Amino acid sequence: MGYLNNQTGYPQDILASRSIIKRDNYALIPTDGLVRNIIPGFENCDVTILSTPKLGATFVDYVVTLHDGGGNREGFGGEEIETFVYVIEGKITASADSKDYPLTSGGYLFCPAGVTMRLENTNGGKPSQLFLYKRRYQRIKGYEAHVVSDNVSRLEKIDYEGMTDVALQDLLPKDLGFDMNIHILSFKPGASHGYIETHVQEHGALILSGQGVYNLDNEWMPVKKGDYIFMAAYVPQAAYGVGHEAFSYIYSKDCNRDVD
Ligand code: UGY
Ligand code: MN
């Protein structure tokens, strides 16, 4: 799967775009409008920045293609910054301080604040694609987060809010040391949320498979694999899957904290 246009040659489509940007509300960003960003520390990588505080998010999301020899060896994250990486496709070594975690498609690593994440492509010369996240950690007294790494193929699938055709996977532990979680929701064709949610938490969501129709702030819009969606606090949201394969997306959600 390629995330970016090749950005050479004649325009593919300059008459219409499915991109919708409503700051502090929601954004839909399909792959065909994505551009490369240069970010210190990332070598031989195509980095696209998605949600940021400029859009209304308290976190930053990226999609990154690591080319042959590509990676971030200087370190991503920092003292008060927690980070998360998920391998969409390919093979990488992700490190939490000095400990290495070989990851393939579906593999992920969470580094709590104070633990540095490093990334290196190990896909035999072929590119690897990653979904990357960072956020300022909201510390509370008496609790700590810790390094987590696994592969979603090993995680339990739970019926989402009692529905047998919508599956939820929680990628991180639910304990109070964690101020956010990453989830995957998978809808069988025709399945939907049970209601239109309205909640204080924010989401950054990357569609991993299939197609669906998403309600964002009471507008229904078609979405598909590769699309990225930002949902700000309180934006009404719901979806249903269409077509023949599961409609699934990985998304972040802040949790376990009171509001200041
Ligand atoms: O966990 C959630 O809030 C999730 N159900 N939201 C969403 O899928 N838009
Ligand atoms: Mn939600």
Residue 224, strand partner residues: 211
Determine the pLDDT at residue 10: 72
Average pLDDT over residues 161-180: 98
Decide if 129 contacts 146 (C-beta within 8 A).
Answer: no
When the pLDDT of each residue in the chain is averaged and rounded to a whole number, the result is 96
Domain extents in the chain? 33-152, 156-254
Average pLDDT over residues 155-159: 98
Q: How far apart are CA 64 and CA 71, in angstroms?
A: 9
pLDDT digits (tens, 9 = 90+) for 57-108: 999 999 999 999 999 999 999 899 999 999 999 999 999 999 999 999 999 9
Decide if 185 contacts 231 (C-beta within 8 A).
Answer: no
- Nearest ligand 1 atom to alpha carbon 160: 5
Determine the pLDDT at residue 254: 98
**Which tokens sit at 158?**
């739970």
What phi, psi does 10 have (nearest 5°)?
A: -80, 155
Within 13 Å and on the Cβ side, how many CA atoms surround 28? 18
Q: How far apart are CA 14 and CA 247, in angstroms?
A: 28
Helix (DSSP H) and strand (DSSP E) numbers for the chain: 0, 20
What is the CATH code for 156-254? 2.60.120.10
Instruction: Report CA dihedral (174, 189, 218, 195) to the nearest 10 degrees.
Output: -50
**Which tokens sit at 21?**
């940007």
Closest CA to 31 of 44, 9, 46: 46
User: Same fold for the domain at 33-152 and the one at 156-254?
Assistant: yes
| CA nearest ligand 1 atom 1, residue | 253
What phi, psi does 5 have (nearest 5°)?
A: -60, 160
Domain 33-152 fold is Jelly Rolls (2.60.120)
Ligand nearest to the CA of 238: 1
Decide if 190 contacts 240 (C-beta within 8 A).
Answer: yes
Decide if 62 contacts 50 (C-beta within 8 A).
Answer: yes
Q: What angle do CA 212, 57, 23 make, to 5 degrees?
A: 75
**Which tokens sit at 48?**
């696209």
pLDDT digits (tens, 9 = 90+) for 124-138: 999 999 999 999 999
> What is the CA(168)–ligand 1 centre distance, in A?
10
pLDDT digits (tens, 9 = 90+) for 23-55: 999 999 999 889 999 999 999 999 999 999 999
End-to-end CA distance of the chain: 41
140 pLDDT higher than 90: yes
- What ipTM goes with this model? 0.99
Q: 16 falls in which pLDDT band (50, 70, 90)?
A: confident
> What is the CA(75)–ligand 1 centre distance, in A?
31
Within 6 Å (CB) of ligand 1, which residues are found? 185, 197, 203, 237, 253
